[in-house]
Structure 1
Amino acid sequence: MTPPAYASFAQWSREGRQASYVRARKSPGAVLDLLDFVVPAGEISRPAMPDIVLFQDMLGGSRNRGDLGRGPIDVISRKGNFYLGAPGFAPWAVWEESHQLQSLAFSKAQWHAVLDEASDGSFSFDSSCVYGQMFDSPALRSAFRTLWSLYDDEGAPSRLLARAAGCEILAELCRLGGTPFTPAKGGLAPWAERRCLELLRARLSDDISLDELAAEAQLSAFHFARMFKQSLGVPPRVYLMRLRVEKACELLETTDLPITEIALEVGYSSNQALARVFTKHRSMNPSDYRRAVRDPLRAVA
């Protein structure tokens, strides 16, 4: 029987025979598809797809034999290490023990133009010296932890977060694969910085994308993200989060709006999502903050 055709890794993870292994899924606007899944010991395989897929081993200690796109491998997995699956290749692997993986898929259609521009045309999805190997990268480990943490904090993931995080991760993969991106040359022009910050403030409640901000600055998404960080000291997603927390503080101080309405006003899907982000950055929840600024003596008591 001919195996079903899947247009993407995301579709295969929902509809393929191993869909039941998926424990958690974060899919921000189809820009990135981040999965956490546990697979029992034995063989696992999938059809070829036009995506590159980055896997992180969350447990380690199991023998892994197979082929992810660059010839046979036979290794003992290590906790926190990565594997990169090649596009257009049907990988297979045999694990001697049950294992937990987290994966991040990059659609060739979604990302090719960004990568081509970032590398001045020298990038190719079809060649990387890290395909099919086990490797470590502190930068990638940090990025994976940050992604899961932010998704858990913010509830509905934002397109800005997804695109910016994808650019950071792909930049590291290209560096490891021998095709480093061209370095950013300085920060944003003053007019571009001003217009982008005005747009962020005006659309706090919207799911604004990195591409929209980059268009405002007349730059590609990849170059904009790096130049924004050079100018403002933090990535666009972090700056947006700070603006949202500042606006929430202002509304808590000056209005009697319910916290649920304030959450929606500053771009969070629920009061719980706002509370998680707010507590992390103000060391108290929104209700306690409102009491503290409205009646400091009572709050201390």
Structure 2
Amino acid sequence: MTVHAYPSFSRWYAEDHRAPYVRTRKSQGAVLDLLEIERPAGDCSGPALPDLILCQDALGGMRVKGNLGGTNFDETSERGGFFLIAPNFANRIVVETRHRIRALAFPLAHWQRLLDEATDARFSFDFRELHSGTFSAPSIQSAFQQLWCLCDEEGTASRLMAQAAGCHIIAELCRISGAPLAPAKGGLAPWVKRRSLELMRARLAEDISLDELAAEAQLSPCHFARMFKHSVGVPPRVYLTQLRIEKACELLEATDLPVTEIAFDVGYSSNQVLARVFQKHRRMSPSLYRRSVRDASRTTA
């Protein structure tokens, strides 16, 4: 499960040393958080947060370099220009000028549920094209300004209107980035599938959780598991077991490592656990598999 140092962008700016830089703070419950921040030039990098964060340059001429979740960039923004910070990404940002921004944070937990309902559980926050520098969007500027005013009001009506304005902004982000509001039904987007398989292979020795994989894919755990099975053919846990057994076979064939060490290397707590899983999938023990493979090799030689 992904562990965040702070539960939200707003809390980070309230509790971190950056708190004195906040000029204005507005919120619509768990729906949206808005902050106006003025700060000097310097390192503005932030931790991985469970929010999608849209920042607007309020003054213009902001020289920014870093990585917001896409590719590295080095740009100067215009007044009203936007930057989009990916959720669950520890961003690197250096601003070379004094600046003032307005930041709009979409708490992922709320918006993922809302948009999954609207798209038959097929929405993905895949805005990689917009995480690579500044962009302009007059329609988003208008909705952003509307939200700023709405968040001065309280009550159900203003909360619903703020949610509608938020939906409009996300729809515009989808349009500008070319990300479909609903990926192909039932399956993972290609980049999500590729990233998920890469993570599972890279962290084979760890007990990587469904929550971690789903967070990386920007999907709810249930939705991710369903789409993963559709794309790969088996559930995530079964696929991870297959990877572990394949790696164990490779190590048994090519090395003289003790079975206990191989068990640790492929993510099992003991050689007994590996033997139990190996017996189920290969119908023999790891030691017997090693002997049979090497006997066959000597025979063919």
Describe the SS at the equivalent of 1:46.
coil
Deviations 1:118-160 (A, max 9, x none): 34444312553212321111111001111223334x3678322
- Normalising by the residue count of structure 1, what TM-score does the alignment of the two structures yield? 0.55
1:141 match: 141
- Normalising by the residue count of structure 2, what TM-score does the alignment of the two structures yield? 0.55
Cα pair 1:51 1:107 within 8 Å, conserved: yes
2:35 match: 35
Cα pair 1:55 1:82 within 8 Å, conserved: yes
Cα pair 1:48 1:90 within 8 Å, conserved: yes
- 1:104 has 2:104 as partner: yes
In 2, Cα distance between equivalents of 1:181 and 1:126: 9
- 1:160 has 2:164 as partner: no
1:92 match: 92
* Change in 2 beyond 3 A, CA 1:121/1:177: farther
Cα pair 2:69 2:128 within 8 Å, conserved: no
Deviations 1:34-65 (A, max 9, x none): 11110111111111112110001111113211
Cα pair 2:146 2:165 within 8 Å, conserved: no
Deviations 1:214-255 (A, max 9, x none): xxxxxxxxxxxxxxxxxxxxxxxxxxxxxxxxxxxxxxxxxx
* Change in 2 beyond 3 A, CA 1:20/1:50: same
Describe the SS at the equivalent of 1:125.
coil
The CA RMSD measured in Å over matched residues stands at 2.2
1:171 match: 171
Query: 1:102 corresponds to which letter in structure 2?
Result: R
Q: Percent identity?
A: 51
With 68-77 and 128-137 compared, the bigger mean Cα shift is at: 128-137
Cα pair 1:130 1:177 within 8 Å, conserved: yes
* Change in 2 beyond 3 A, CA 1:130/1:4: closer
In 2, Cα distance between equivalents of 1:63 and 1:160: 36
Cα pair 1:39 1:99 within 8 Å, conserved: yes
Q: Quote how far apart the aligned CAs of 1:14 are.
A: 1.1
In 2, Cα distance between equivalents of 1:59 and 1:44: 17
Query: 1:175 corresponds to which letter in structure 2?
Result: R
In 2, Cα distance between equivalents of 1:104 and 1:66: 20
Is there any run of 5+ residues in structure 1 with no aligned partner, and where? 183-301
2:132 match: 132
Cα pair 2:63 2:76 within 8 Å, conserved: yes
In 1, Cα distance between equivalents of 2:78 and 2:68: 17
Taking the TM superposition and a 5 Å limit, the aligned residue runs for 1:1-301 are 5-152=5-152, 154=153, 158-181=158-181
Count of residues in correspondence between the two structures:
179
1:190 match: none
In 1, Cα distance between equivalents of 2:150 and 2:89: 31
In 1, Cα distance between equivalents of 2:133 and 2:123: 19
With 33-42 and 119-128 compared, the bigger mean Cα shift is at: 119-128
Query: 2:176 corresponds to which letter in structure 1?
Result: L
In 2, Cα distance between equivalents of 1:117 and 1:163: 14
In 2, Cα distance between equivalents of 1:131 and 1:118: 24
Query: 2:80 corresponds to which letter in structure 1?
Result: G
